[in-house]
């Protein structure tokens, strides 16, 4: 590949990863407003403990239902109108939803949506934003995988996860800057609005970029636009353009191939990769990081700072590390190692939440105890484990394992499954963490024990069923599903090929 071709691939990758930036930004921006949502929309309703915990969880997690919708429609849209057009629509939806969620009373106040009565409008905008995120989360890695050469595809698709963690890290600092120097009352009245509305800025960047970039060559071939595809491939891969075009056409002869043409296993593996990425509890940690640090004894401002530094910076650094290892070490070793590290960290974290160890409280304004620092260390280790493995590598696998002729539909289902599980984890965390019964015995630690068990199951799943795709072309990967994988006969010895 020439320098100009490589530069173009990098430029297109960066443009597409703005979809990942939106994903990460929204994931972390909600962490700054969880207490404000409860204060403004739930507490005034004077519900029972269980009812209040459920409504708080729903208000925080409902965007994930939109993500399910977005992921489900992104596949058909990517096939009908293209990867580029789908990302453009996602940017527009997210721009509108960000401003709407920050100021849900705007327009809807005409219909009495003020104060806690604005909750339905807030939920509407969050679902709309979630739809945009669901679309982008599927289309961005698909776009990257379809313009990248096999030798660097793994590295380039990890740019998606880098963009996600950059978005997370960025918004943690944005949230901290908005809240810094202000009282908790300011957070409850004003800061939360600015935090949510700030997401319109990266949305606008995505819109601009998608107006400039070309479509992917594989979509062009899918629509019988071979001349355009060849011209683009010459810019992307140089002298190998004609050969690459023939490989693509060979796997797209049947444009509407049935979903299960390659057997059910490929779909099951993709769906379970998505499910396990959430079962390990990552978004409970990301969404509720400030709340978790407050449980450990930090003040409000300190909790926001610790979220930005301990979670955001660690995630960014180790996701960058994955960029340089995924094409060298392979996908499976990283997934297994990361799952085991997360399992240990979550089990330790759950144990450290014992009431006799973590005794500092927000009301006392005390500094975190020694056990609190150990708990923070466990969180950091957990973030490390996720950031070099299940964070970036799952997106690489989802962009790779599905054959060309079913990729849109299959990836749409897998990503939708990821968002469904994300919703379940995010909805149930405040119910588990806020349960007086569970806290009587586990003091906020029960959920982390569950996530540790999920990480162990994730490692076992990868060893048994997930193929290694390192160094293969997208066209050759589909041949894996005609061999021993079709009979689900993978052995642990295949962990490193």
Residue 257 — very low, low, confident or very high, per pLDDT cuts 50/70/90?
low
Q: How far apart are CA 14 and CA 412, in angstroms?
A: 22
Burial of 345 (C-beta count, 10 Å sphere; 0-12/13-18/19+) = buried
Average pLDDT for residues 336-361, to the nearest whole number?
Answer: 75
Q: How far apart are CA 387 and CA 253, in angstroms?
A: 38
Q: Give one word for 361, left, alpha or beta, with left for phi > 0 and alpha for psi -120 to 50.
A: beta
C-alpha R_g of the chain: 22
Residue 259 clears pLDDT 80, i.e. is over it: no
Nearest to 331 by CA among 398, 397, 414: 397
Residue 366 — very low, low, confident or very high, per pLDDT cuts 50/70/90?
very low
**Cβ(387)–Cβ(323) under 8 Å?**
no
**Cβ(432)–Cβ(447) under 8 Å?**
yes
Burial of 139 (C-beta count, 10 Å sphere; 0-12/13-18/19+) = buried
Each residue's pLDDT tens digit, 130-176: 999 889 888 888 888 788 776 676 677 777 777 887 888 788 888 88
The pLDDT value recorded for residue 486 is 45
Q: How far apart are CA 115 and CA 110, in angstroms?
A: 13
The pLDDT value recorded for residue 478 is 65
Nearest to 375 by CA among 425, 456, 312, 443: 443
Highest mean pLDDT among 26-30, 183-187, 460-464: 460-464
Q: How far apart are CA 161 and CA 137, in angstroms?
A: 10
Q: How far apart are CA 425 and CA 351, in angstroms?
A: 20
The pLDDT value recorded for residue 342 is 94
The pLDDT value recorded for residue 413 is 86
Nearest to 28 by CA among 311, 269, 277: 311
Residues of the chain above pLDDT 70, percent: 77
The pLDDT value recorded for residue 370 is 54
Each residue's pLDDT tens digit, 387-427: 888 888 887 888 778 876 777 778 878 888 888 888 888 77
**Cβ(438)–Cβ(446) under 8 Å?**
yes
pTM: 0.68
Give the 3-state DSSP-derived string for 249-313, with helices as H, strands as E and coil as C: HHHCCCCCCCCCCCCCHHHHHHHHHHHHHHHCCHHHHHHCHHHHHHHCCCCHHHHHHHHHHHHHH
The pLDDT value recorded for residue 85 is 92
**Cβ(373)–Cβ(466) under 8 Å?**
no
Residue 356 — very low, low, confident or very high, per pLDDT cuts 50/70/90?
very low
Tokens matching residue 328: 């060298």
Instruction: Report how far apart, in Å, the C-alpha atoms of 357 and of each of 330, 352, 416 are.
Output: 40, 7, 40
Tokens matching residue 189: 């009245």
Average pLDDT for residues 100-108, to the nearest whole number?
Answer: 85
Question: Domain extents for the chain?
Answer: 3-213+253-495
Nearest to 434 by CA among 447, 424, 417: 447
Tokens matching residue 205: 């960047």
Higher pLDDT, 382 or 243: 382
Each residue's pLDDT tens digit, 62-93: 888 888 888 888 878 888 898 899 999 999 99
Q: What is the mean pLDDT of the chain?
A: 79
Residue 455 clears pLDDT 90, i.e. is over it: yes
Q: How far apart are CA 396 and CA 389, in angstroms?
A: 10
Lowest mean pLDDT among 47-61, 138-152, 187-201, 253-267: 253-267
**Cβ(29)–Cβ(195) under 8 Å?**
yes
Residues of the chain above pLDDT 90, percent: 17
CATH superfamily of 3-213+253-495: MFS general substrate transporter like domains (1.20.1250.20)
Average pLDDT for residues 16-39, to the nearest whole number?
Answer: 84
Burial of 184 (C-beta count, 10 Å sphere; 0-12/13-18/19+) = middle
The pLDDT value recorded for residue 295 is 60
**Cβ(158)–Cβ(390) under 8 Å?**
no
Residue 458 — very low, low, confident or very high, per pLDDT cuts 50/70/90?
very high
- Could you tell me the sign of the dihedral formed by the alpha carbons of 79, 83, 85, 90, in that order? positive
The pLDDT value recorded for residue 363 is 41
Q: Give one word for 168, left, alpha or beta, with left for phi > 0 and alpha for psi -120 to 50.
A: alpha
Q: How far apart are CA 257 and CA 262, in angstroms?
A: 10
């Amino acid at each position: 590949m020439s320098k100009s071709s490589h530069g173009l691939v990098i430029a297109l990758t960066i443009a597409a990863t703005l979809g990942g930036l939106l994903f990460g930004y929204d994931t972390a921006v909600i962490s700054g407003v969880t207490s404000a949502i409860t204060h403004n929309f739930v507490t005034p309703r004077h519900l029972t403990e269980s009812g209040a915990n459920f409504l708080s969880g729903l208000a925080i997690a409902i965007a994930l239902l939109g993500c399910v919708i977005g992921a489900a429609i992104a596949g058909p849209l990517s096939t009908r109108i293209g990867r580029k057009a789908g990302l453009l629509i996602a940017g527009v939806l997210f721009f509108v939803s960000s401003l709407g969620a920050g100021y849900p009373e705007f327009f809807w106040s005409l219909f009495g949506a003020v104060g806690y009565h604005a909750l339905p409008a807030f939920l509407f905008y969050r679902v709309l934003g979630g739809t945009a995120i669901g679309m982008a989360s599927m289309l961005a890695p698909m776009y990257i995988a379809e313009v990248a050469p096999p030798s660097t595809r793994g590295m380039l698709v990890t740019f998606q996860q880098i963009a996600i963690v950059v978005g997370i890290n960025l918004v943690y600092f944005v949230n901290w800057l908005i809240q810094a120097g202000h009282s908790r009352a300011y957070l409850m009245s004003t800061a939360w609005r600015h935090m949510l509305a700030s997401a319109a800025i990266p949305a606008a960047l995505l819109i601009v970029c998608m107006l400039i970039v070309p479509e992917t060559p594989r979509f062009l071939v899918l629509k019988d636009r071979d001349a355009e595809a060849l011209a683009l491939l010459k810019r992307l891969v140089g002298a190998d353009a004609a050969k690459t075009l023939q490989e693509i056409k060979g796997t797209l002869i049947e444009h509407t191939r049935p979903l299960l043409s390659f057997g059910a296993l490929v779909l099951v593996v993709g769906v379970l990769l998505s499910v396990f990425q959430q079962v390990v509890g990552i978004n409970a940690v990301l969404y509720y990081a400030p709340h978790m640090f407050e449980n450990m004894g930090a003040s409000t401002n300190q909790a926001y700072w610790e979220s930005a530094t301990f979670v955001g910076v660690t995630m960014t650094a180790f996701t960058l590390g994955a960029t340089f290892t995924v094409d060298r070490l392979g996908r499976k070793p990283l997934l297994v190692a990361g799952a085991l590290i997360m399992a240990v960290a979550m089990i330790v974290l759950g144990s450290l939440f014992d009431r006799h160890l973590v005794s500092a409280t927000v009301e006392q304004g005390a500094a975190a105890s020694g056990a609190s620092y150990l708990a923070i260390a466990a969180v950091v280790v957990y973030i490390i484990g996720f950031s070099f493995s299940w964070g970036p590598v799952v997106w690489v696998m989802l962009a790779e394992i599905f054959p060309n002729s079913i990729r849109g539909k299959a990836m749409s289902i897998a990503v939708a499954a990821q968002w469904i599980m994300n919703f379940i984890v995010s909805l149930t965390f405040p119910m588990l963490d806020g349960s007086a019964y569970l806290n009587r015995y586990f003091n906020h630690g029960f959920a982390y024990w569950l996530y540790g068990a999920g990480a162990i199951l994730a490692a076992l799943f990868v060893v048994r069923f997930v193929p290694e795709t390192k160094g293969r072309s997208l066209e050759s990967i589909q041949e894996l599903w005609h061999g021993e994988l079709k009979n689900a006969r993978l052995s642990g010895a295949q962990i490193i090929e």
